C-alpha cells in the first residue's frame, strides 16, 4: 500500500508544478596569466558557455602585488604564497562572473583538478594547464568564497545577472 501511494504522488509531481529547479548561482573564474598569454581566453570562455554557464561580468586586469596578496591572503602562511603572488602579477588576467545552475560546482567540474596531470580529460586544466601553478584558471571553491571573490573584483552594478530580468 505504501509503495502504491508513493507511486501515485510521484506521478502527480510533474503535473502539479513541483519540479525542483536547480539553484542559480554566481561564481568567480580567473583566466590566469598562462591562459591569457597562450591566447586561450576565447576557448576557455566558450567551454563555460557551452556547458550552461553564462558570463554575467568580464574584464581583463593587471593585478598589483598588493591586490594579489590580498586576494590570495588565505594562502599567506603556505610555502607557495610568494611564488603564487609573483605568478599572478606576471601578466594580465581575465576575471569573470559566471552564472548558472549550481555554478560553483559546475565551474569546478569544467576546470578539472588543480594538477593538470590529474585532471579529467577534456577539462580546461587538462587541456591548457602545464603544472599546479600554471593551470590556466582559478575558480571559487564555495558559494561563500564566490561571493567574497566576486565583490573583490566587481561592483554590483557591473554584474548583469539573468536573475535581474
Half-sphere exposure (CA, 13 Å, Cβ side) for 38?
A: 16
Torsion 66-135-132-112 (CA) sign: positive
Q: Smallest Cα–Cα separation from 52: which of 25, 81, 17?
A: 25
Q: Determine if residue 151 is left, alpha or beta; phi over 0 gives left, psi from -120 to 50 gives alpha, anything else beta.
A: alpha
What is 63-132 written as a DSSP string? --HHHHHHHTGGGTTSTTHHHHHHHHTSS-EEEEEEEEETHHHHHHHHH--SSTTTSPTTSHHHHH--SS
Name the catalytic one among 39, 75, 122, 138. 138
- At residue 158, the 3 state secondary structure works out as helix
138 is catalytic: yes
HSE-CB of 67 using CA atoms within 13 angstroms: 13
Q: Which residues are catalytic?
A: 138
Amino acid at each position: 500500500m505504501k509503495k502504491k501511494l508513493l507511486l501515485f504522488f510521484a506521478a502527480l509531481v510533474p503535473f502539479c508544478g513541483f519540479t525542483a529547479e536547480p539553484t542559480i548561482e554566481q561564481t568567480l573564474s580567473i583566466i590566469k596569466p598562462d591562459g591569457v598569454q597562450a591566447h586561450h581566453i576565447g576557448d576557455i570562455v566558450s567551454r563555460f558557455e557551452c556547458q550552461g554557464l553564462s558570463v554575467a561580468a568580464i574584464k581583463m586586469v593587471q593585478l598589483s602585488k598588493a591586490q594579489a596578496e590580498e586576494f590570495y591572503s588565505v594562502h599567506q602562511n603556505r610555502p607557495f604564497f610568494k611564488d603564487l603572488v609573483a605568478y599572478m602579477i606576471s601578466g594580465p588576467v581575465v576575471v569573470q562572473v559566471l552564472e548558472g545552475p549550481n555554478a560553483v560546482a559546475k565551474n569546478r567540474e569544467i576546470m578539472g583538478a588543480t594538477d593538470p596531470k590529474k585532471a579529467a580529460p577534456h577539462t580546461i586544466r587538462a587541456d591548457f594547464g602545464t603544472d599546479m601553478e600554471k593551470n590556466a584558471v582559478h575558480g571559487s571553491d564555495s558559494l561563500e568564497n564566490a561571493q567574497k571573490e566576486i565583490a573583490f573584483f566587481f561592483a554590483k552594478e557591473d554584474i548583469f545577472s539573468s536573475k535581474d530580468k
